[in-house]
Protein backbone atom coordinates (compact mmCIF):
# COMPACT_ATOMS: atom_id res chain seq x y z
CA UNK A 1 0.00 0.00 0.00
CA UNK A 2 2.83 2.38 0.85
CA UNK A 3 4.49 1.65 -2.50
CA UNK A 4 1.29 2.64 -4.34
CA UNK A 5 0.98 5.88 -2.36
CA UNK A 6 4.63 6.69 -3.08
CA UNK A 7 4.10 6.05 -6.81
CA UNK A 8 1.06 8.35 -6.79
CA UNK A 9 3.03 11.05 -4.97
CA UNK A 10 5.90 10.69 -7.46
CA UNK A 11 3.48 10.91 -10.39
CA UNK A 12 1.80 14.02 -8.97
CA UNK A 13 5.22 15.58 -8.26
CA UNK A 14 6.36 14.86 -11.80
CA UNK A 15 3.13 16.31 -13.21
CA UNK A 16 3.49 19.46 -11.08
CA UNK A 17 7.10 19.92 -12.18
CA UNK A 18 6.02 19.56 -15.80
CA UNK A 19 3.26 22.14 -15.33
CA UNK A 20 5.70 24.50 -13.61
CA UNK A 21 8.17 24.19 -16.50
CA UNK A 22 5.35 24.71 -19.01
CA UNK A 23 4.05 27.78 -17.21
CA UNK A 24 7.56 29.23 -17.07
CA UNK A 25 8.26 28.37 -20.71
CA UNK A 26 5.24 30.26 -22.09
CA UNK A 27 6.27 33.75 -20.81
CA UNK A 28 9.83 33.17 -21.98
CA UNK A 29 8.65 32.33 -25.47
CA UNK A 30 6.25 35.28 -25.57
CA UNK A 31 9.01 37.64 -24.39
CA UNK A 32 11.40 36.22 -26.98
CA UNK A 33 8.89 36.73 -29.78
CA UNK A 34 8.13 40.27 -28.62
CA UNK A 35 11.82 41.15 -28.45
CA UNK A 36 12.40 39.64 -31.90
CA UNK A 37 9.54 41.74 -33.25
CA UNK A 38 10.97 44.85 -31.55
CA UNK A 39 14.40 44.14 -33.02
CA UNK A 40 12.88 43.72 -36.48
CA UNK A 41 11.01 47.00 -36.06
CA UNK A 42 14.16 48.86 -34.98
CA UNK A 43 16.15 47.35 -37.85
CA UNK A 44 13.48 48.53 -40.29
CA UNK A 45 13.89 52.17 -39.22
CA UNK A 46 16.01 53.93 -41.84
CA UNK A 47 19.23 55.66 -40.83
CA UNK A 48 18.64 59.42 -40.43
CA UNK A 49 20.15 61.62 -43.11
CA UNK A 50 22.35 63.51 -40.66
CA UNK A 51 24.04 60.25 -39.66
CA UNK A 52 24.72 59.48 -43.31
CA UNK A 53 26.01 63.01 -43.81
CA UNK A 54 28.32 62.71 -40.78
CA UNK A 55 30.81 60.62 -42.72
CA UNK A 56 31.01 63.31 -45.39
CA UNK A 57 31.62 65.97 -42.74
CA UNK A 58 34.31 63.85 -41.14
CA UNK A 59 35.97 63.26 -44.50
CA UNK A 60 35.93 67.02 -45.10
CA UNK A 61 37.55 67.52 -41.70
CA UNK A 62 40.20 64.93 -42.50
CA UNK A 63 41.01 66.69 -45.74
CA UNK A 64 41.52 70.04 -43.98
CA UNK A 65 43.90 68.91 -41.27
CA UNK A 66 47.46 67.66 -41.37
CA UNK A 67 46.75 64.75 -39.04
CA UNK A 68 44.72 62.75 -41.52
CA UNK A 69 47.10 59.81 -41.18
CA UNK A 70 46.30 59.44 -37.46
CA UNK A 71 42.60 60.03 -37.97
CA UNK A 72 42.58 57.33 -40.62
CA UNK A 73 44.71 55.04 -38.46
CA UNK A 74 42.32 55.37 -35.52
CA UNK A 75 39.29 55.16 -37.86
CA UNK A 76 37.63 58.13 -36.22
CA UNK A 77 35.09 58.42 -39.03
CA UNK A 78 33.70 54.96 -38.27
CA UNK A 79 33.91 55.50 -34.51
CA UNK A 80 32.11 58.83 -34.71
CA UNK A 81 29.24 57.27 -36.66
CA UNK A 82 29.00 54.43 -34.11
CA UNK A 83 28.95 56.85 -31.19
CA UNK A 84 26.37 59.06 -32.87
CA UNK A 85 24.16 56.06 -33.66
CA UNK A 86 24.48 54.72 -30.11
CA UNK A 87 23.57 58.12 -28.68
CA UNK A 88 20.54 58.36 -30.93
CA UNK A 89 19.43 54.83 -30.01
CA UNK A 90 19.91 55.59 -26.31
CA UNK A 91 17.78 58.72 -26.71
CA UNK A 92 15.04 56.76 -28.46
CA UNK A 93 15.06 53.93 -25.91
CA UNK A 94 14.60 56.41 -23.08
CA UNK A 95 11.41 57.56 -24.79
CA UNK A 96 9.85 54.07 -24.70
CA UNK A 97 7.49 53.73 -21.73
CA UNK A 98 8.35 51.10 -19.10
CA UNK A 99 11.83 50.58 -20.59
CA UNK A 100 13.56 53.95 -20.46
Check residue 83 and give its pLDDT.
Answer: 92
Domain locations in the chain as residue ranges = 1-45, 46-100
Query: CB of 80 within 8 A of CB of 58?
Result: yes
The reported pLDDT for the residue numbered 66 is 66
User: Any residues with CB less than 8 A from the CB of 42 and at least 6 apart, and which?
Assistant: 89
Residue 97: what pLDDT?
79
Determine the Cα–Cα distance for residues 40 and 22; give it in Å rounded to an integer.
Answer: 27
Query: Is the pTM above the cut of 0.85?
Result: no
Burial letters 50-61, b for 16+ CB under 10 A, else e: eeeebeeebeee
CA pair distance 48, 83, nearest whole angstrom:
14
Q: What pLDDT is stored for residue 63 in this prediction?
A: 66
Q: Average pLDDT of each block of 10 consecutive residues along the chain (100 residues)?
A: 86 92 90 91 85 76 68 82 91 80
Shortest CA distance to 47 belongs to which of 94, 18, 81, 74? 81
Task: Measure Cα distances from 60 to 47, 48, 53, 82, 83 in Å.
Answer: 21, 19, 11, 18, 19
pLDDT at 33: 92
Amino acid sequence: MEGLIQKIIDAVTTLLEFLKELLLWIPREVAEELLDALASFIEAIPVPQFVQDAQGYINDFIGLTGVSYFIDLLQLDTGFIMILSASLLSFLIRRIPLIG
